[in-house]
Amino acid sequence: MQYPFSPMPAVLSGIESTMSAARLVRFTPQNGNKNHGLRTYVWNARLCEEFYIPLQFTEVAFRNGIHRRLQAVYGRDWHANPKLLATLPHRHRADLNEVASSETAKRGPAFTIDHVVGGLPFGFWHSLMGHSLAHILWKYGIRGPFPHLPMTENRQTVFDKLEMMRKFRNNVMHHYAIFDKGPMTEYHNILALLGWMCPHTLWLVKELSNPAAVLQRRPQL
């Protein structure tokens, strides 16, 4: 993608100062072409945009699937069930209590468990798939929010793919360079997780995202 801008030196200097030279140098070629570096930075941002829908849909599907499982095991208000709380590590129990207290104060009589689900960080949900807490979702062979998981795969496979997604998600949300970090491998990892949860939602996400097309429009020197 050849962006139609070529800032004057003073403008480019102002942009560089605003965005920080340390950030833009990551995208600047060895010949020091700062205009090309800025174009590459913008292109990388467009590439990150292409992942917002896949990441959002997969994360929401994941936490909703676990939420339904927790309700089935611990009741509607699972966040306050002493049996569940007793099984959680201290830091995750603290996260749960903090979000529940904050949302209760904010929502008042309108508070529901859905506000807790929406307020908890991705790391909390991911931790429930770990070995030490496997009994919560995988006990008796129940595979939680992944009803379409192939029989050849297991909890560890899901955990590893979620960890891969978590790290990539952080890179996208912190505006790091992703264009040279295997974005298509990351995309297919996200799609695999979503397909194991809901093939219909997977279809929609594939219709709405196309990082391969953005990759092909990399600015040329």
Domain interval for residue 40:
1-47
**pLDDT score of 221 more than 80:** no
For residue 202, being part of any structural domain is answered with: no
For residue 85, being part of any structural domain is answered with: no
Distance CA 107, CA 131 (A): 34
For residue 42, being part of any structural domain is answered with: yes
- pLDDT tens column, 181-196: 999 999 999 999 999 9
Q: What integer pLDDT is reported at residue 137 of this predicted model?
A: 76
Q: What integer pLDDT is reported at residue 132 of this predicted model?
A: 85
Number of structural domains (the chain) is 1
Q: What integer pLDDT is reported at residue 207 of this predicted model?
A: 98
The count of residues in the chain is 221
**pLDDT score of 211 more than 70:** yes
For residue 3, being part of any structural domain is answered with: yes
For residue 36, being part of any structural domain is answered with: yes
For residue 83, being part of any structural domain is answered with: no
**pLDDT score of 161 more than 70:** yes
pTM of the predicted protein model: 0.91
For residue 15, being part of any structural domain is answered with: yes
Distance CA 92, CA 39 (A): 41
Q: Which two tokens mark 107?
A: 């929502």
**pLDDT score of 174 more than 70:** yes
- pLDDT tens column, 68-108: 999 988 999 999 999 999 999 999 999 999 999 999 999 99
CA 9 to centroid of chain Cα atoms: 37
Distance CA 213, CA 37 (A): 20
3-state secondary structure 135-189: HHHHHHHCCCCCCCCCCCCCHHHHHHHHHHHHHHHHHHHCCCCCCCCCHHHHHHH
For residue 29, being part of any structural domain is answered with: yes
Q: At what angle do helices 155-173 and 52-74 cross, to 10 degrees?
A: 130
